[in-house]
Amino acid sequence: MSIPSAAVEIPAAVRALAGDAELAPVWLNGIGGLTFRTDDGRFIKWGPHDAEANMRDEAERMRWARRWIAVPEVLDQGQDATHEWLVTAAIPGRSAVDPRWSDDPATAVRAVGAALRTMHDALPVDACPWTWDPEWRIVNAAERGVIVPADLRTPPPVDRLVVCHGDACMPNTLLDDDGRPAAHVDLAALGVADRWADIAVASMSTEWNFGPGWEDALIEAYGVEPDRERLEYYRRLWNET
């Protein structure tokens, strides 16, 4: 995932959704999906159909979650034969991996850890209609033709059930200009699971974005001691599914 060139080609569907608004590309994901910001306060996310996490599910989960936490308002969602799109209202803030934070990873990493804890404490497990537990993830992987190693079929005992983000990588938390958590994005896999499923991925993603040495800082900001067994299991599960 990366920030795309300003010269990126604008898909016809995105151009139609933007109307008369000017478009600026802000994100390119690993399967060729693009996110654009308009000059009238919207984000347009567009990409190929994805069997693992689709934008219809994301829109549904965002509408549910925004009753308790800050997430963008869904304005439109749709699809055609090959691609799908999601239009949301812009929220003031920048991704935790925006160039603004390149020279201050300590602020960004700790803000993401704190934001994840706040999310886990705020979203009601009993009211959440979705799961993201290992059994569901392994079945989902199998439906996509991915066979998970047998030893991952027995997860560690649950520490604490929460409503997990489902893709708690650093880019998916927005920060304000002072480095405080502003909102969460990319909630297509949101569901109930052990909190370490999110903590493992969030802390692991610090290395992808800022290099080694920041994993435990995020966990400390979340407010727990590193659980090496659960971290290893949920990182492997992420990589295998």
Q: Are strands 161-164 and 191-194 parallel, antiparallel or unpaired?
A: antiparallel
User: Among 1-10, 69-78, 121-130, 210-219, which stretch is predicted with the lowest mean pLDDT?
Assistant: 1-10
Q: Tens of pLDDT along 62-90?
A: 999 999 999 999 999 999 999 999 999 99
pLDDT of residue 28: 86
Q: Is 186 known as a binding-site position? A: yes
Going by the DSSP 8-state scheme, the letter that residue 2 receives in this structure is B
Q: Which of 146, 129, 137, 208 is nearest to 166 (CA)?
A: 137
Q: Is 194 a catalytic residue?
A: no
Tell me the Ramachandran region of residue 130: left when phi exceeds 0, alpha when psi lies from -120 to 50, beta otherwise: beta
One-letter amino acid at 137 equals R
Tokens of 160: 């604490």
Q: Is the pLDDT of residue 129 over 60?
A: yes
pLDDT > 70: percent of the chain:
97
d(CA 151, CA 153): 5
Q: What is the per-residue pLDDT across 22-74, written as a single tens digit (0 to 9) for each?
A: 999 988 887 788 999 999 999 999 999 888 889 999 999 999 999 999 999 99
Q: What is the pLDDT of residue 6?
A: 58
* 172 annotated as belonging to a binding site for a ligand: yes
Mode of pairing for the β-strands spanning 42-48 and 34-38: antiparallel
Do the first three CATH levels of 12-89 and 94-240 match, i.e. the same topology? no
Q: Which residues pair with 38 in a beta bridge?
A: 23
Task: Tell me the domain boundaries of the chain.
Answer: 12-89, 94-240
pTM: 0.92
CATH topology classification for 94-240: Aminoglycoside 3'-phosphotransferase; Chain: A, domain 2 (3.90.1200)
Assess whether pLDDT exceeds 90 at residue 186: yes
Given 167, 194, 198, 227, the catalytic residue: 167
What is the CATH class of 12-89? alpha beta
Please tell me whether residue 37 adopts helix, strand or coil conformation.
strand
User: CB-based contacts of 36: which residues, under 8 Å, 6+ apart?
Assistant: 10, 14, 18, 23, 24, 25, 26, 43, 44, 46
Give yes or no for residue 199 having a pLDDT over 80.
Answer: yes
**Average pLDDT value for the chain:** 94
Per-residue pLDDT for 94 more than 80?
Answer: yes
